[in-house]
Amino acid sequence: MLPASIKDDFPILRREVRGRPLRYLDNAATTQKPKAVLDTLQRFYAEENANVHRGVHHLSERATLAYDAARERVRRYLNAELAEEIVFVRGTTEAVNLIAATLGRSMVKADDEVLITALEHHSNLVPWQLLCQEKGAQLKVLPINDRGELVLDTLDALLTPRTRLFALTHVSNALGTVTPVRELIQRAHAHGVPVVVDGAQAVAHTKVDVRALDADFYAFSGHKVYGPTGIGAVYGKRARWEALPPYQSGGDMIADVSFEETTFAPMPAKFEAGTPNIAGAIGLAAALDYVEGVGLEAIAAHEHALLEQGLSLLGALPGLRLVGTPAERAGVISFVLEGIHPHDVGTLLDGAGVAVRAGHHCAQPLMTRFGLPGTVRASLGLYNTEADLLALRDGLIEARRFFG
C-alpha cells in the first residue's frame, strides 16, 4: 500500500466539505492535481508564457521547447515509437471525434459496419453512431454478460467482411471492467479491421504500451491521470496518420497557403490547428512525471488492495447490490441501494464529505442492459485510503437509516 502521506501532495485533499474531511472517491470523473502539476502551471504562466512554433524571441523559444518536450513525455509514457505519432487534443472525446471525422469518413461507406462494445462511454459511441447515420452504415455492438464482461464468443461473428472499424474501451468507466484489449486487437487485425482504443480510464492505473498492444489509435485525457483539464493525447501509427486528411484547419497546420490551394504541415502539426493548450500539455507532462515517480506498479497494487477492501465492506451492507462483478476490474465499485435513487444516495454521502458519482455515468445503454436508471460509483485513485472507504461505508449506513 502507498503511504497515507501521499495525500499531502494534493492541496485540495486538505480541505473540508460540509464540515467533514473530504473523502474524494470520484476519480473516474476527474482526478485531483498534485502540487507538482499546480506549480508547473503557475511557473509557465508566470515565467515562460508565449505562443509556440511562431516566434524567434526568448519566451517563444522556451515555450516551444517545453511544449515539444511534453509530446516526447507522452511518447515515453505510452511507449510509442515516434513523438510525431502523438497528437495533442482536448481529451478522449475530441480524439474519438477526430478519428471518426478522418479515418471513419474515409473508410466507412453505405452498408458498411462499425463495431463497438456494450461497455462504451457515450464519447466512444455517439461519434460512431453519427458517422453510421451519415454514411448509411450499421453500428454493431459486442455484448456483455451479467458480470459486465464482454462475450468474446460472439466477436468472430460480428467481425464481418463489411466491418471497417472497431472502437473499444480499455477500462469501463461505469463498471471498472478491464477488457482483454490485446486479444481484441489481434482478432480484429486478423480480419483486417483497424482498432481505436479509449484509454481514458486505463492510463492512470496500469502501464500502457501501445506497441505491445498494436493499437492503431489510443486516446486518453489528461485530467484522468492527475493532469489539467482541456488536454489529452491520441497516439496513432505513423502510417495511419499520414493517410488521413486534416481534422480542422487554420494556423500551424499548414505548410503553404495561396488563394488557389493549401499544402499541409507534416504530422503531428497537421492535426493541431490553432494555438494549442500549451500550458495544459506542459502540465500533463508534469502529471506523467508524478505518476511514474510514484510507480505504476505500486499504484496498481495499492488500488487493487483498496478495491478488495471496498468490495468486502460494501458487500456486507444489507440492501446494497453491486452492479458488475467482472473477474478483472480496475478500482471502480458501482452499486445501488435498494429503494433509494442513486442521486439521493450521492447527495446524502456529500453531506458526510464523501464525493462519489451518481447517475448513468455517460453510459446509458450499459445502464439499460442492467435495467437501471443509474448507479452510485465510487472510484479509486492513488491517494485514497482505508479511511475513505470506511467513511463511504458509514455514510451508506446513515443513508439507509435516513430512508428507514
Asked whether 70 and 216 are in contact (CB, 8 A), the reply is no
pLDDT tops 80 at residue 404: no
pLDDT tops 80 at residue 389: yes
The pLDDT value recorded for residue 402 is 87
Which residue in this structure is represented by grid cell 507522452? 74
For residue 89, report the phi and psi dihedrals to the nearest 5 degrees: -135, 180
Range 290-313 average pLDDT: 98
pLDDT tops 80 at residue 377: yes
Q: At the top level of CATH, which class does the domain 4-30+295-399 belong to?
A: alpha beta
pLDDT tens digits, 216-250: 999 999 999 999 999 999 999 999 999 999 999 98
For residue 212, report the phi and psi dihedrals to the nearest 5 degrees: -70, -40
Percent of residues in the chain assigned helix, strand, coil, to nearest 5: 45, 20, 35
Asked whether 113 and 160 are in contact (CB, 8 A), the reply is yes
Q: How far apart are CA 333 and CA 310, in angstroms?
A: 8
Range 354-379 average pLDDT: 98
Residues contacting residue 366 through CB under 8 Å, at least 6 positions apart = 118, 119, 120, 144, 172, 174, 175, 360
Share of the chain above pLDDT 70, in %: 100
Residue 127 CB coordination number (10 Å): 23
The pLDDT value recorded for residue 30 is 98
The pLDDT value recorded for residue 329 is 96
pLDDT tops 80 at residue 41: yes
Asked whether 4 and 12 are in contact (CB, 8 A), the reply is no
Catalytic residue among 294, 362, 372, 390: 362
Q: At the top level of CATH, which class does the domain 39-292 belong to?
A: alpha beta
Q: How far apart are CA 361 and CA 383, in angstroms?
A: 22
Mean pLDDT of the chain: 97
Structural Rg of the chain based on CA atoms: 22
pTM higher than 0.95, yes or no? Answer: yes
Which residue in this structure is represented by grid cell 443509474? 374
Name which of 6-15, 215-224, 226-235, 251-260 the model is least confident about.
Answer: 251-260
Is residue 362 among the annotated active site residues? yes
Give domain limits for the chain. Answer: 4-30+295-399, 39-292
Select from 179, 160, 158 the least CA-distant residue to 169: 179
pLDDT tens digits, 131-168: 999 999 999 999 999 999 999 999 999 999 999 999 99
Band (297; pLDDT cuts 50, 70, 90): very high
The pLDDT value recorded for residue 1 is 87
